[in-house]
Amino acid sequence: MGTGRTLNKDPRTRPIKSPGEKLRRYKVQRARLVKLGMDEVAVAKLQPNELRTLVQCPTKVKKSVAAKADKAPKAASAPIADTKAE
């Protein structure tokens, strides 16, 4: 017994991806990356294919954000001079 078209009629064609749904998916994926700790400005500059690859590996994103956060306080720990003239 074969499984031809008589047994598998629905759906006849694959659903069409609409531009609005695509933009909604990108918005959701950007929100996920921001929630993982990435900077909003950096996420906004990402291309869609970069966005998809980063969302697929959230543990790598968390590790890279943590590594950048570890480097940042060392550079920012220098004393800031007072600019007020007394």
Backbone torsion region of residue 78, taken as left when φ is above 0, otherwise alpha when ψ lies between -120 and 50, otherwise beta: beta
State phi, psi for 55 to the nearest 5 degrees: -65, -30
Structure tokens at 78: 């220098």
The pLDDT of residue 11 is 65
Which ranges of the chain would DSSP assign to H, the alpha helix? Answer: 19-36, 40-44, 48-56, 58-76
The pLDDT of residue 5 is 67
- Write out residues in the chain with pLDDT < 70, as ranges: 1-6, 9, 11, 73-86
The pLDDT of residue 81 is 62
CA torsion, points 37, 42, 47, 52, in degrees to nearest 10? 0
